[in-house]
Amino acid sequence: MSLLITLLYILFVLSAVVLVVVILLQEGKGGGFGDVLGTAGQQTFGVKAAGIHRFTAAVAVVFLGSALLIHVLNRLQGSTTILDAAG
């Protein structure tokens, strides 16, 4: 059980890092981090790139799903939290 929780934590952290990078690369109304990459970044992550939005949504689902699974498995394992110890 603890190996599964450890793997979920690794997936959680990796998906968080990927989510931050992908969101920063997307071009908003006022530009974005994609402007730093020049024209190659604009072509890859421009407004017309609908695939990047689907990828962002998929990574967000993985992020939220792993967070929920970590919470549920920690509760089932019966581990105490900082809040339980303080109260």
Number of domains in the chain: 1
pLDDT at 13 over 80: yes
Q: What pTM was computed for the model? A: 0.67
Range of the domain at 6: 2-86
pLDDT at residue 26 above 90? no
Please list the helix, strand and coil fractions of the chain in percent, rounded to the nearest 5, in that order: 80, 0, 20
Question: What per-residue confidence (pLDDT) applies to 78?
Answer: 78
- Per-residue pLDDT, averaged over 33-37, amounts to 58
47: enclosing H helix or E strand: none
State the Cα–Cα distance between residues 25 and 45, nearest whole angstrom: 7
Residues 6 or more apart whose CB falls under 8 angstroms from that of 8 comprise 66, 69, 70, 73
pLDDT, one tens digit per residue, over 40-64 is 555 555 555 678 889 999 999 999 9
| Residue 64 or residue 85, greater confidence | 64
Backbone angles phi, psi at 21, to 5 degrees: -65, -45
pLDDT computed for residue 63 by the predictor:
97
